[in-house]
Amino acid sequence: MSNKFFRERIQQAIYDPILQTALDNNSERRLKGRAAAFTSIPDWPERRQRAHRIRAEVIEHLDKYLEQFIAHNEANGVIVHRAKDAAEAVNIVLDIARLNSAKLFAKSKSMVSEEIELNHALEKEGIRPIETDLGEYIVQLRHERPSHIITPAAHLTRQQVAQLFHEKVGIPYTEDIPTLTATARRILREIFLTADIGLSGVNFGVAETGGLCIVTNEGNGRMVTSIPKTHIALMGMERLAPNLDDLALLLSLLPRSATGQKLTVYTQILHKPMPGQTRHLVILDNGRSKLRNSPLKESLYCIRCGACLNACPVFRELGGHAYIGRDQSIAPYPGPIGSVISPGLLGENFVHLAQASSLCGACKDACPVDIDLPKMLTRVRAGAASRDRGSANSDGAGLTRSTKFFLKIYTRLATQPKLFAISQKLASLGTHLLSPRSQWMPLPAFTGWGYSKDLPRFAGKTFRERFVPKPGMDSEDFKPRSEKTTATSGDVAVQAGNNLERFTSELAALSGHVHLTNDPTRAVIEFLNSRGIRKIYLQPAVLNENLLRQTGIEFTHEPDPQITVGVTKAWAGLADTGSVLEADDELLGSLLPEIHITVLKSSTILPSLPDAVQLASGKNAVFITGPSRTADIEMTLTIGVHGPKEIHVFVDDSKSG
């Protein structure tokens, strides 16, 4: 069922030229970036199927994995809370805030926080929640919800952001994106340093170790999880990976699908609270258990990459703010996946959103975990239609008996190829007659979509009839997931090539710098002299400190806000992404200064993430992939948002290296 407000919002969005310009910028660049990023993993179809199986396994045995995950977190010193619904989660956070007499929260991006409307509840208690992701900060200044799960300000142009900063932050009007970004950096740095509590989401929890994986490009995730004395991590109960190897596989797909990157700039894997810190983990149900036992279960496989939003022709015209409920509130999750989980988690208010799809299948094709979104959307529609006829019951995330009956018939047909082929023919005839283009349906505007959208022509022949296998395809491509060959780990090209060479070229492509040397201390001194830098932060036992003293370079192991260069040690490098793996708690060296120097032994450059991920087990570790970056304003890449503007990797190629 559709609703009046939803239809009105659709009309507004379609006829808003500024919104259309902003949306075109976002989706076109995201789609191109995603396509380019996947070329470096030619085995991506296999990875996708493995990812599907991993997520299916987690959801199937969720209780077991949750139990394991919670036990490890408690052993790691994390205080774990379970919240059955939004109200309970909000109360847990408020209790922690009261306990700490907190007045200021520094928040990094969390869709769960949006889902439970946490900011509103904090403000009612007199607590200031400040969003620190640039896009989230912008929409918070406008008192809006994010319009996209990855790019919160995707609906805005640079002129709108410029005007906003002029009015709300008090800077002279400028459309210069680096200036706008630097302004946010200056304001938010103060927030990180003075916040009572840091609050983050969790991209993945690792059941086997209790690890919390948090990915951010700007570095705000690292700030909020490390600097405040109290950190609260908010996660949906389904966001688990069984172990670190599975995490590595999921991480090879998430950033490529989300932002077109091989790896997000800061990929943290946290196991223990930072020294002197208390960490709380709030695990939210809020309808997930019910969804898990419903025909919409597969929607819980989602890893929140946003690719289905960018691919969806409907979302690309409307943007996220058109996805509104009957009460006119904006859905926390828009787009194809949002049209399934918003009603699935939050109920009837959003059930009509499932109409906002042409069922073209672009969302399924884009999904890195191969969720059958068109199937999910038709199930929501079927449930809504049945309820409209007054046959609702409360079983299975709102699905009705008649829907279940329909699904049973569908399952019988789908498992018998001949019957399925006949049913497709009949369905094709039926839909042709009912198509708005058909002579039998003279009123194409009955849903609201007909005003501006042509429905696709129905194919004369079914897919199976038209399908001609490509050379090289074999019966393996048609086997069910469970029977397919297991994919290999690592990038095939990397395994054959030279790790150091690949590492250097990958980092250079991200504006990072590699300095090959047999004597890292002398090479760093030379670099510092060339820049006229006389004082640095130095992680202990990385460089020859006597030599630094002799050459007049001052160093400290303590915090010093005047310092612009930090020097740290890398545990390992990744050839296929140009990343370095380091201790996450070395913020003074690797995040706060404008220039980050790290020393890496050439022998520790490994081909790919799966080869290095076990090094993070039980530790607080971070994979750093280039300098801090954002593309939150008009998708324009800007370097140095919250973290360093430059990263220099001094690769020690001496015998001992």
DSSP-derived secondary structure for 590-613 = HTSSSEEEEEEEGGGEESSHHHHG
Of 303, 318, 384, 616, the residue at the interface with ligand SF4 (CB under 6 A) is 303
Residue 567 CB, nearest distance to ligand SF4 (Å)?
A: 38
User: Taking contact as CB under 6 A, which single stretch among the options 16-24, 62-70, 123-131, 301-309 is the one that binds ligand SF4?
Assistant: 301-309
Q: How far is the CB of 257 from ligand SF4 (least distance, A)?
A: 6
User: Minimum distance from CB of 376 to ligand SF4 (Å)?
Assistant: 9
- Site mask for ligand SF4 (CB under 6 A), range 65-104, x = bound: ----------------------------------------
Distance of closest approach, residue 330 Cβ to ligand SF4, in angstroms: 17
Token duo for residue 103: 């007045």
Q: Which of 54, 93, 251, 337 binds ligand SF4 (CB under 6 A)?
A: 337
Taking the complex as a whole, the smallest distance from the CB of residue 22 to ligand SF4 amounts, in Å, to 20
Nearer to ligand SF4, 197 or 254 (CB): 254
Work out whether 371 is an interface residue with ligand SF4 (CB under 6 A).
Answer: yes
Q: Contact region for ligand SF4 (CB under 6 A) — 13-21, 41-49, 80-88, 300-308? A: 300-308
Nearer to ligand SF4, 280 or 288 (CB): 288
Which of 6, 23, 1 is CA-nearest to residue 635?
Answer: 23
Considering Cα of 188, then 189, then 190, then 193, what sign does the dihedral take? positive
Which residue from 70, 96, 184, 302 is in contact with ligand SF4, where contact means CB under 6 A?
302
Q: Which stretch binds ligand SF4 (CB under 6 A): 189-197, 303-311, 574-582, 626-634?
A: 303-311
367 binds ligand SF4 (CB under 6 A): yes
256 or 387: CB nearest ligand SF4: 256
Q: Which of 165-173, 304-312, 605-613, 629-637 is the region at the interface with ligand SF4 (rule: CB under 6 A)?
A: 304-312
Burial class (CB in 10 A: 0-12, 13-18, 19+), 482: exposed
Dihedral through CA 210, CA 215, CA 216, CA 221, nearest 10? 0
Contact stretch for ligand SF4 (CB under 6 A) within 79-87, 157-165, 317-325, 366-374: 366-374
Using CB under 6 A, pick the residue from 207, 369, 384, 542 that binds ligand SF4.
369
304 is a contact residue toward ligand SF4 (CB under 6 A): yes
User: Is the Cβ of residue 303 or residue 510 nearer to ligand SF4 in the bound state?
Assistant: 303
Query: Least distance (Å) from ligand SF4 to the CB of residue 355?
Result: 18
Handedness of CA 575, 577, 580, 584 (dihedral sign): negative
Q: Which is nearer to ligand SF4, 308 or 399 (CB)?
A: 308
The backbone region for 635, taken as left when phi is positive above 0, alpha when psi lies in -120 to 50, beta otherwise, is: left
- Distance between the two ends of the chain, CA-based, in angstroms? 65
Identify which of residues 299 and 620 has a Cβ nearer to ligand SF4 in the complex: 299
Q: Cβ distance 161 to 28 under 8 Å?
A: no
With both helix axes pointing from N to C terminus, report the angle between 417-434 and 401-414 in degrees, rounded to the nearest 10.
120
Q: How many residues sit close enough to ligand SF4 to count as binding (CB under 6 A)?
A: 15
> How, if at all, do strands 128-131 and 197-201 pair?
unpaired
- Nearer CB in complex with ligand SF4: 336/627: 336
- Residue 341 interacting with ligand SF4 (CB under 6 A): no
Query: Which among 499, 501, 504 is positioned nearest to 650, based on CA atoms?
Result: 504
- What are the tokens at 187? 């304001």
Q: Which of residues 218-277 bind ligand SF4 (CB under 6 A)?
A: 257
Pair 562, 536: CB distance under 8 Å: no
Q: Residue 336 to residues 6, 11, 89, 281, 405: CA-CA distances in angstroms?
A: 15, 19, 26, 29, 24
Would you say 298 or 582 has its CB closer to ligand SF4?
A: 298
Considering the complex, state which of residue 304 and residue 352 has its C-beta at the smaller distance from ligand SF4: 304
DSSP secondary structure string, 546-593?
HHHHHTT-EEESS--TT--EEEEE-SEEETTTTEEEEETT-HHHHTSS
Question: What gap in Å lies between CA 1 and CA 355, rounded to an integer?
Answer: 7
Least distance between ligand SF4 and beta carbon 136 (Å)? 17
What's 265-328 look like in SS3?
CEEEEECCCCCCCEEEEEEECCCHHHHHCCCCHHHHHCCCCCHHHHHCHHHHHHCHHHCECCCC
Task: Candidates 89, 234, 366, 605: give the one binding ligand SF4 (CB under 6 A).
Answer: 366
Residue list 398-437, contact with ligand SF4 (CB under 6 A): none
Residue 334 touches ligand SF4, criterion: CB under 6 A: no
User: Between residues 337 and 536, which has the closer beta carbon with respect to ligand SF4?
Assistant: 337
Nearest-approach distance from CB 307 to ligand SF4, in angstroms: 4
Nearer to ligand SF4, 218 or 238 (CB): 238
Considering the complex, state which of residue 381 and residue 648 has its C-beta at the smaller distance from ligand SF4: 381
Q: For the chain, what is the largest distance between any 2 Cα atoms, rounded to a whole number of angstroms? A: 90
CB closer to ligand SF4 out of 147 and 598: 147
Q: Which of residues 305-324 bind ligand SF4 (CB under 6 A)?
A: 305-308
* Nearest Cα residue to 130 out of 64, 179, 80, 197: 197
Closest CA to 153 of 222, 161, 418: 161
Strands 204-206 and 211-216: antiparallel
Site for ligand SF4 in 514-553 (CB under 6 A): none
Based on the shown chain and the rule CB under 6 A, indicate whether residue 10 belongs to the binding site for ligand SF4: no
The yes or no reply on residue 154 touching ligand SF4 (CB under 6 A) is no
**Choice between 369 and 528, CB closer to ligand SF4:** 369
For ligand SF4, the closer of residues 152 and 607 by Cβ is: 152
DSSP secondary structure letter of residue 169? I
Cβ atoms 151, 632 nearer than 8 A? yes
Segment (H or E) for 50: helix 44-60
Tell me the closest approach of the beta carbon of residue 472 to ligand SF4, in angstroms. 27
> Within 10 Å of residue 176's Cβ, how many Cβ atoms?
10
* Cα-based torsion angle of the residue sequence 560, 585, 571, 493 in order, rounded to the nearest 10 degrees: -110
Sheet arrangement for strand 197-201: 79-83, 278-284, 230-236, 197-201, 104-107, 128-131
Q: Do residues 499 and 49 make contact, with C-beta atoms less than 8 angstroms apart?
A: no
Compute the least distance from the CB of residue 298 to ligand SF4, in Å. 9
- The CA distance from 206 to 271, in Å, is 10
Residues in contact with ligand SF4 by the rule CB under 6 A: 257, 302-308, 337, 366-369, 371, 373
